[in-house]
Amino acid sequence: MDWGALHTILGGVNKHSTSIGKIWLTVLFIFRIMILVVAAERVWGDEQDDFVCNTLQPGCKNVCYDHFFPISHIRLWALQLIFVSTPALLVAMHVAYRRHEKKRQFRKGDQKCEYKDIEEIRKQRFRIEGSLWWTYTSSIFFRLVFEAVFMYAFYFMYDGFRMPRLMKCNAWPCPNTVDCFVSRPTEKTVFTIFMIAVSSICILLNVAELCYLLVKFFLRRSKKPVNPKHHPNHENKEETKQNEMNELISDSCQNTVIGFSS
């Protein structure tokens, strides 16, 4: 089980996400996970071996390293990425449950079921409304909470995000105060700032997605009640169909050759 497996699991959720959700997932995998695996892990690879203290006292180096780096940045980021990507599984579970129900209906031979076969049920994309809307919104909320918590934990532990070159340590068994030198501090600072920046972008995307879902929900609610019973509303349906088609035709026909074979 590694990042590739996580990518496979979350790729399935992608189908039921909003567009902002899909962008968020791409940013997560390419600018955070990939950078972590391909670059950041190498930078922090020798963090303890090359942590040098100006003393021959045995144990001083270990104690000082542990004092200044309770959890390595890399491990914090890995945990953050796992926690932040897992709420999407709530949505995946809800979708799987709905599909299971529809398959059950289909097998029982229910007249209301509009699907022709099991394959169609498996491939169908559900709209984000009703209980799925609540699940989806909760998952985004949890994502935001986890991101914020980890950003705070980071700031709390490594005050200021900057990696200094020199740290002065006087934990036992170090004699008096000892100079300790961190390996590759500038490179580490650059990557820390990069990861924080991308994390902020992800937070913004999540907030935008939450707003989008709320606005959509309120719009849908405000459209529902007006439905005059005596007025034949197939004309309105025609108009909306016409508008939709016009929109689609003007969007898509510029670039496509709709070649239906006769």
Partner 1 sequence: MNWAGLYTVLSGVNRHSTAIGRIWLSVIFIFRIMVLVVAAESVWGDEKSAFTCNTQQPGCNSVCYDHFFPISHIRLWALQLILVTTPALLVAMHVAYQQHQEKKLLVLTGHADPKHMEEVKKHKMRISGSLWWTYVCSVVFRLLFEAVFMYIFYMLYPGYQMVRLVKCEAYPCPNTVDCFISRPTEKTIFTVFMLVTSSICIVLNMAELVYLVVRACARRVQHNSNPPSGKGSFYGHKLSSEYKQNEVNQLLTEQDGSLKDILRRNPGLQEKGDRCSAC
Q: Residue numbers of the site for partner 1 (CB under 8 A)?
A: 3-4, 7, 19, 22-23, 26, 29-31, 33-35, 37-39, 42-43, 46, 50, 52-55, 165-166, 179-187, 190-191, 194, 234, 237-238, 241-242, 244-246, 248-262
Looking at this protein, which amino acid is placed at residue 126? F
Q: At what angle do helices 3-13 and 88-108 cross, to 10 degrees?
A: 50
Beta-strand (E) ranges in the chain? 52-53, 166-169, 178-181
Looking at the Cβ atoms of 66 and 244, the one nearer to partner 1 is 244
Distance in angstroms (rounded) separating the CA atoms of residues 137 and 96? 17
User: CA triplet 32, 204, 213: central angle to 5 degrees?
Assistant: 115
Nearest approach, Cβ of residue 34 and partner 1 (Å): 5
Nearest approach, Cβ of residue 127 and partner 1 (Å): 13
Looking at the Cβ atoms of 104 and 122, the one nearer to partner 1 is 122
Distance in angstroms (rounded) separating the CA atoms of residues 243 and 251? 12
Looking at the Cβ atoms of 200 and 242, the one nearer to partner 1 is 242
- Whole-Å CA distances, 8 to 13, 50, 205, 214: 9, 36, 22, 29
Nearest approach, Cβ of residue 102 and partner 1 (Å): 19
Nearest approach, Cβ of residue 191 and partner 1 (Å): 8
Q: Within the chain, how many helices (H) and strands (E) appear?
A: 11, 3
Nearest approach, Cβ of residue 168 and partner 1 (Å): 12
Looking at this protein, which amino acid is placed at residue 146? F
Nearest approach, Cβ of residue 172 and partner 1 (Å): 19
Nearest approach, Cβ of residue 255 and partner 1 (Å): 5
- Which token pair is 194? 């990069």
Looking at the Cβ atoms of 3 and 145, the one nearer to partner 1 is 3
Looking at the Cβ atoms of 6 and 145, the one nearer to partner 1 is 6
Contact 206, 88 (CB under 8 A): no
b/e map 6-41, b = 16+ CB within 10 Å: beeebeebeebbbebbebbbeebbebbbebbeeebe
Looking at the Cβ atoms of 15 and 100, the one nearer to partner 1 is 15
Looking at the Cβ atoms of 101 and 120, the one nearer to partner 1 is 120
